[in-house]
Structure formats: C-alpha cells, structure tokens
Amino acid sequence: MKALIILLLWSILLVLCAPLALLVLILWPVIWLLSIPFKIIAIAAEALLALVRSILFLPAKILGYRECH
C-alpha cells in the first residue's frame, strides 16, 4: 500500500512539474522585460541618494575632514 501511494504521488509530481517548468520557461523573458523599468528607477534613486550624500558632506570635505578607518 505504501509503494502505491509513493507511485501515485510521484505521478502527480511528474504531471504537475512538467507544465510548471514549461510555463516558467515561457514566462521568464516576459517577467524580465517587465522588471526593466524598476531596475532603471532603482539606478536613478541610487544616483539621487549619492548626489544628496555628496552635497551633505561637501562642507566637511572643504574643511578637510578625513574619515578614520
């Protein structure tokens, strides 16, 4: 009885995973294309934060402050 249950579960797994793998294979490029604008926004936000940081630390750089490591 235990072997029959294992065989049944294995068959279900085979039937469900093959279509799922094909679906992921087809949808992966679409998901990648949809994520490009979010990557561009992240790069722009990182550049903006770097600009704000450099503006905030400009007086310290002018006065000659050196960070101790």
Alpha helices for 1-69 (secondary structure H) = 2-62
Predicted pLDDT of residue 28? 87
Residue 45 C-beta-side C-alpha neighbours within 13 Å:
6
Q: Read off the pTM.
A: 0.56
Tell me the backbone φ, ψ of residue 16, rounded to 5 degrees: -80, -35
pLDDT tens digits, residue range 22-48? 787 788 899 999 999 999 999 999 999
